[in-house]
Structures are given as C-alpha cells and as structure tokens.
Amino acid sequence: MNSNEFREWSLRAAEWGVDYRNSLRERPVRPLVEPGEIFKSIDAAPPEDGETMQAIFADFEQKILPGMTHWQHPCFFAYFPANAAPVSVVAEYLVSAMAAQCMLWQTSPAATELETRVVDWMRQALGLPEGFSGVMQDSASSATLAAVLTMRERALDWQGNKNGLQGQPVVRIYSSDQVHTSIDRAIWVSGIGEANLVRIPVAGRFRAMQTTALEAAIVTDRENGMLPAGIIASVGGTSTGGTDNVAAVAEVAKRHGLYLHVDAAWAGSAMICPEFRHFWTGAENADSIVFNPHKWLGAQFDCSMQFIRQPEDLVRTLAIKPEFLKTHGRDGVINYSEWSVPLGRRFRALKLWFLLRAHGLENLRNMIRNHVAWSESLAARLAREPDFEIVTEPMLSLFSFRHLAAAGIGLDEHNLRLVSAINDDGRIYLTQTRVDGQVAIRFQVGQFETTAADVDTAFEVITEIARGLS
C-alpha cells in the first residue's frame, strides 16, 4: 500500500466507522448466523498474490460484518458493556498509526509519562487517596494475575519464582463464589491450584463474604500449617453484582498481614460518582484494585487499570532485566513492562486521555447516573408485572429477573428459551446466569449511546416475547 492509498483507505475506514455507528439501531444486536458459516465463506488457502483493497473491503462488508455482534449497539444489555466512545476510537486510530511498542520508558517516553498522569487522574476521579500508583493492563484478568503472583511471592518470601512451589508451604487465597472466573484462572496459572482458593460463604442482598467465616478459615489454615497469602474482594461481580464489605475484609487482611486485591472491573467506573462510592468503602485500604475503563467508562478495549499501593512488590515479582532491556543512565524512570506479565505493551493511555478531556468527568457521571436510574426503573416496571419476578435487585445498573409463566416446561428451560428467543429477535441482546442454582436473566444498562427509550424498548420486547412463548 503506498502512501496515497494509505490516505484513501484510512479516510474510507473513518467514514465507514461513522456510517456504521449511525446505522446500529437498524441492525440486529446479535448476528443471525450459524456456527461455521463465516469460516466456510473464507478462502481455505492464503493468497499467493496481493489483492486489491476494493476486493478486501468488499469481503469485509459482505462476509465479516454480517457475523459481528454489535457491542456498540444502544440495545446491548448483555454481559457488561465494552464501550468505545467515538473520541477513544479516534485516539486508537492515532495509536495504531504510530504503532509504538511501549514496553520501556525509552521506547516511548510520552506513552509512559501520559500513563502515569492518566492513572493519577483516574485515582482522583474515583476518590482514591494519594499513595496509590498504578499501571494500565490489557485486561482485568492480567491485573488479577499480577496481583495473585505478588500475593504468592510476598507470602513465600520471594522464593516462588526462584524455586517453584514444590517443598513450599501450601499457599491459600480467599474469596467468595461471586468473583469472576479470571480469579480462578489466576489461581491456576500461578500454580497455587484451585483447591487452595478457599470459597468463603456469602450473605445478604449483595452476597458479601462473611468476614467471621473468612477469619476462621485463615486461622484454621494457619493451624494446619498452610500459608494464607491474600484475599480477593468483589465489587460488582459479573453474575449479579455480588459485592463484598471491603472495609470489613480489609480489616481482616490487615489483622492477618494478607494482601488484599479488589476486583471492581465493571463497577469501578461508577465510582466517579461520589454517591456510589459506598459500594467500595474500604477500597482505600486495599493493596491493589482493578477496574476496566474499557467496560462502562468508554475507553475502547483494551484499557484496564490497576491501582497499586506498593509497586515495588509487583516489580519484584515480575521484573526481569536482561541487558537488552536495560535503560542505562536513566535511573528513576518507570518501565511499565516490569509491572505486567506481557513484555510488549500498547499505548493505552491516549484513548483515556482523549475520553476524559472530551467528555469531562461530569458528563461521564451523568451517563452512569442515567444508566443506574433507567435500570432501576425497568426493574420496578417488571416487578409490577404479575408474570415476572425480580431475582436480584439492581446493583448499580445490573439486575436479574425471571418469567414465571411456563406452559408445560420447567422455569429454567422456559427462561433459557426466552433468552434465546429474545436474542434471535435481534432488537435487544441480553444474557442469563444462575442464582442459587436457578436460571435468571441478567439485564444491565451501560452502553454509551443507550437512551431511556431504548430501555422502554427492552421492556416491550421482553414482555411481548415472554408472553408469546408461554
């Protein structure tokens, strides 16, 4: 591609992006394709000769686009959002044009220094005290893995990386069963082993870990010669928003000298609103906190932020300095690749900087406040319908419900059929979970462009399709 063509196709791609975003309401949120359909439509062998951009672009529109789920669709109510505000898309274009590998300070000083600044902007925006530094990771999964590795190394007096886990005391980590599966995976990958992730029973509306049970488990493990290393608290769990009493958990962590990591991957964005900060009171006492600006806040994926109280411990856990990565004569600079598992790193701070400057915190707060209010009013509306029940009340903008009128089949099967029918219909998209073993339908409002009218549409679609099925 020569530079004229690069210009032409970049402009074309930018125009395509705008038209695509403007056309989202006319598209089904989830594509109506069968498994394998797209795969079959792509040539089985790679081309020997270059093809024209016209042909490639036409195939993109004809073969790829029909198989895309439209995460930026205003009626995307499934999972959690992965918002990419237009301004962050523009920043990502610049990042991909520069295509810098920002692993060390010297491999792009601006990327490192903007990251340090933007992490501190977010610390202030979320109401966290001074004393936290932070890093931008690719995902909350990576941040949690980094935290679990740090817990392990701290507890093993830094011997795990050197000597492996054989012959060491058994490392124990504590969480409720409401945490995201990225916690399980971090426990697997760190070699701690699933059997040593101790699940603490939960109680109350937000399914919070019972701290007396937490403390008892730590004491018993110690008595049995095991090595309690850390606790992972949830603020806004993925299934139904499960949220621990972080202040109480932090006290237990402090009493027993354990590392505390808080996973607020989704709910963290809402902490820009002071009125929601009660959900994570005590987070200021954590050793690390992860939240994903790429979920609710609008910074295009991937953009996960990890706040860390003692970065020296993280760096001691993860940093490796072969000669070719040393930055001689530059003492005191931050090399963020020493703060994360992958060496290579994208320039993630730019899109967040653009987003925060273009929207300002107050507009972002209003978006989140609207989402929470619309979700609460939809839950209240469904609760008034005699054939629906609210299974879990809204935690911020997430609640779950169930349709009760099933003719001839069990409620679980009926509600699973209902989710499929709603998603096949295409006007809205949502997903299911299980609460106390039974199927419930999750609903979250969080898409950047969603309006109150879209949430009304959701009410109509849900009630119409549920009653049609019964």
Site residues (CB under 6 A) for ligand PLP? Answer: 80, 139-141, 180, 182, 236-238, 263, 265-266, 292, 304
Which residues face 289 on adjacent strands? 262, 307
Q: What is the closest distance, in whole angstroms, from the C-beta atom of residue 148 to ligand PLP in the complex?
A: 13
d(CA 147, CA 262): 10
The b/e string for 312-333 (b: 16+ C-beta within 10 A; e otherwise) is: ebbbebbeeeeeebeeeeeeee
Cα distances from 132 to residues 27, 129, 457, in angstroms, run 43, 7, 42
Q: What is the closest distance, in whole angstroms, from the C-beta atom of residue 207 to ligand PLP in the complex?
A: 13
Which residues face 211 on adjacent strands? none
Q: Hey, what amino acid is at 259? A: Y
Q: What is the closest distance, in whole angstroms, from the C-beta atom of residue 249 to ligand PLP in the complex?
A: 16
Helix or strand holding residue 456 (H, E):
helix 452-469
- Reference 463, options 428, 435, 432, 412; nearest CA is 428
Q: Which is nearer to ligand PLP, 143 or 469 (CB)?
A: 143
- Reference 248, options 297, 272, 283; nearest CA is 283
Tokens 């036409």 found at: 58
Are 155 and 145 spatial neighbours (Cβ–Cβ below 8 Å)? Answer: no
Q: Which is nearer to ligand PLP, 141 or 176 (CB)?
A: 141
d(CA 88, CA 186): 29
Q: Which is nearer to ligand PLP, 139 or 463 (CB)?
A: 139
Q: Which is nearer to ligand PLP, 196 or 238 (CB)?
A: 238
Are 269 and 368 spatial neighbours (Cβ–Cβ below 8 Å)? Answer: yes
- Reference 458, options 397, 408, 414, 412; nearest CA is 397
- Reference 212, options 243, 236, 222, 220; nearest CA is 220
Q: What is the closest distance, in whole angstroms, from the C-beta atom of residue 98 to ligand PLP in the complex?
A: 24
Q: Which is nearer to ligand PLP, 265 or 396 (CB)?
A: 265
Packed helices 109-125 and 349-383: angle between N→C axes, nearest 10 degrees: 30
Q: What is the closest distance, in whole angstroms, from the C-beta atom of residue 1 to ligand PLP in the complex?
A: 32
Q: Which is nearer to ligand PLP, 80 or 354 (CB)?
A: 80
Q: Which is nearer to ligand PLP, 310 or 431 (CB)?
A: 431
At 45 the three-state DSSP class reads coil
Q: What is the closest distance, in whole angstroms, from the C-beta atom of residue 174 to ligand PLP in the complex?
A: 17
Q: Which is nearer to ligand PLP, 133 or 292 (CB)?
A: 292
Q: What is the closest distance, in whole angstroms, from the C-beta atom of residue 259 to ligand PLP in the complex?
A: 18
Q: Which is nearer to ligand PLP, 221 or 287 (CB)?
A: 287
Q: What is the closest distance, in whole angstroms, from the C-beta atom of residue 180 to ligand PLP in the complex?
A: 3
Number of CB atoms found within 10 A of residue 36's CB = 8
Q: What is the closest distance, in whole angstroms, from the C-beta atom of residue 293 to ligand PLP in the complex?
A: 10
Q: Which is nearer to ligand PLP, 180 or 351 (CB)?
A: 180
Tokens 């993925």 found at: 238
Q: What is the closest distance, in whole angstroms, from the C-beta atom of residue 29 to ligand PLP in the complex?
A: 18
Which residues face 175 on adjacent strands? 199
Are 282 and 402 spatial neighbours (Cβ–Cβ below 8 Å)? Answer: no
Taking the alpha carbons at both ends of the chain, their separation in whole angstroms is 57
